[in-house]
Structure 1
Amino acid sequence: MSATPSPLAAAQLILPAPAKLNLMLHILGRRADGYHELQTLFQFLDYGDELGFSPRADGEIRLHGGLPGVPDEANLIVRAARALQTDANCTQGADIWLDKRLPMGGGIGGGSSDAATTLLGLTRLWKLEHDENRLATLGLRLGADVPVFIRGRAAFAEGVGEKLLPVQLDEPWFLVVAPQVSVSTAEIFQDPELTRDTPAITVRTVLERGGRNDCQLVVEKRYPEVRNALILLNKFVSARLTGTGGCVFGSFPNRGEADKVAAQLPAYLPSFVAKGSNVSMLQRKLKSLS
Structure 2
Amino acid sequence: MLRLLDVPAPAKLNLFLHITGRRDDGYHLLQSVFMMVDWCDRLHFELRADGGIDREDIGLAPASGALPAEDLTVRAARALGEATGCPFGVRIGLEKHIPAEAGMGGGSSDAATTLLALNRLWGLGLTRRELAGIGLRLGADVPFFLGGRNAWVEGVGERITPLHLTPARFVVVKPPGGASTQRIFGAPELKRDSKTATIQGFAANVAGNQTDESDATGGGFQLAGALDIQRILAFGHNDLQPVAQAICPEVGHCIQWLEGHGLQARMTGSGTAVFAHLAQPQNLTPAPGGWLIRECANMDAHPLLDWCAD
TM-score with structure 2 length normalisation? 0.84
Shift of 1:277: 1.6
Report the counterpart of residue 68 of structure 2 in structure 1. Answer: 72
Q: How well do the aligned residues superpose, as a CA RMSD in angstroms?
A: 1.8
The ranges of structure 1 where at least 4 consecutive aligned residues each deviate by more than 3 angstroms after the TM superposition are 10-13, 66-69, 204-207
Report the counterpart of residue 230 of structure 1 in structure 2. Answer: 255
Q: Equivalent residue of 1:277, what SS?
A: coil
1:280 and 2:280 correspond: no
Identity %: 43
For residue 277 of structure 2, the aligned residue among 247, 251, 259 is 251
Instruction: Give 1:36-185 correspondences, 5 Å limit.
Output: 36-65=28-57, 67=63, 69-185=65-181
Distance 1:278 1:220, change over 3 A: same
Report the counterpart of residue 20 of structure 1 in structure 2. Answer: 12
Distance 2:141 2:4 in 1: 27
Report the counterpart of residue 220 of structure 1 in structure 2. Answer: 245
Report the counterpart of residue 188 of structure 1 in structure 2. Answer: 184
Shift of 1:85: 0.6
Distance 2:147 2:29 in 1: 21
Distance 1:14 1:69 in 2: 22
Shift of 1:170: 1.7
Distance 1:104 1:69, change over 3 A: closer
Q: Give aligned pairs, total.
A: 273
Shift of 1:264: 3.6
The answer to whether the Cα contact below 8 Å between 2:244 and 2:251 also exists between their aligned partners in 1 is: yes
Distance 1:90 1:119 in 2: 13
Q: Equivalent residue of 1:118, what SS?
A: helix
Unaligned runs of 5+ in 1: 1-9
Report the counterpart of residue 217 of structure 2 in structure 1. Answer: none
Shift of 1:183: 1.7
Q: Equivalent residue of 1:281, what SS?
A: coil
Distance 2:120 2:157 in 1: 26
Q: Report the more deviating stretch, 219-228 or 136-145.
A: 219-228
Distance 1:135 1:68, change over 3 A: closer
The answer to whether the Cα contact below 8 Å between 2:140 and 2:157 also exists between their aligned partners in 1 is: yes
Distance 1:77 1:156, change over 3 A: same
TM-score with structure 1 length normalisation? 0.89
Distance 2:108 2:194 in 1: 26
The answer to whether the Cα contact below 8 Å between 1:173 and 1:275 also exists between their aligned partners in 2 is: yes
Q: Kindly provide the amino acid, as one letter, of the partner of residue 88 in structure 1.
A: T
Distance 2:95 2:51 in 1: 23
Unaligned runs of 5+ in 2: 207-233
The answer to whether the Cα contact below 8 Å between 2:169 and 2:279 also exists between their aligned partners in 1 is: yes
Shift of 1:193: 0.7
For residue 196 of structure 2, the aligned residue among 193, 200, 203 is 200
CA displacement, residues 138-181 of structure 1 (integer Å, 9 cap, x when unaligned):
00000000000111100001101110011112221011101112
Q: Kindly provide the amino acid, as one letter, of the partner of residue 85 in structure 2.
A: N
Shift of 1:214: 0.6
Shift of 1:204: 4.4
Distance 1:222 1:103 in 2: 18
Q: Equivalent residue of 1:194, what SS?
A: coil
Q: Equivalent residue of 2:11, what SS?
A: strand
Shift of 1:69: 4.5
Distance 1:112 1:31 in 2: 22
Shift of 1:11: 4.9
Shift of 1:252: 1.2
The answer to whether the Cα contact below 8 Å between 1:61 and 1:93 also exists between their aligned partners in 2 is: yes
Q: Kindly provide the amino acid, as one letter, of the partner of residue 25 in structure 1.
A: L
The answer to whether the Cα contact below 8 Å between 2:153 and 2:161 also exists between their aligned partners in 1 is: yes
Q: Kindly provide the amino acid, as one letter, of the partner of residue 248 in structure 1.
A: V
Report the counterpart of residue 4 of structure 1 in structure 2. Answer: none
Report the counterpart of residue 6 of structure 1 in structure 2. Answer: none
The answer to whether the Cα contact below 8 Å between 1:13 and 1:125 also exists between their aligned partners in 2 is: no
Report the counterpart of residue 210 of structure 1 in structure 2. Answer: 235
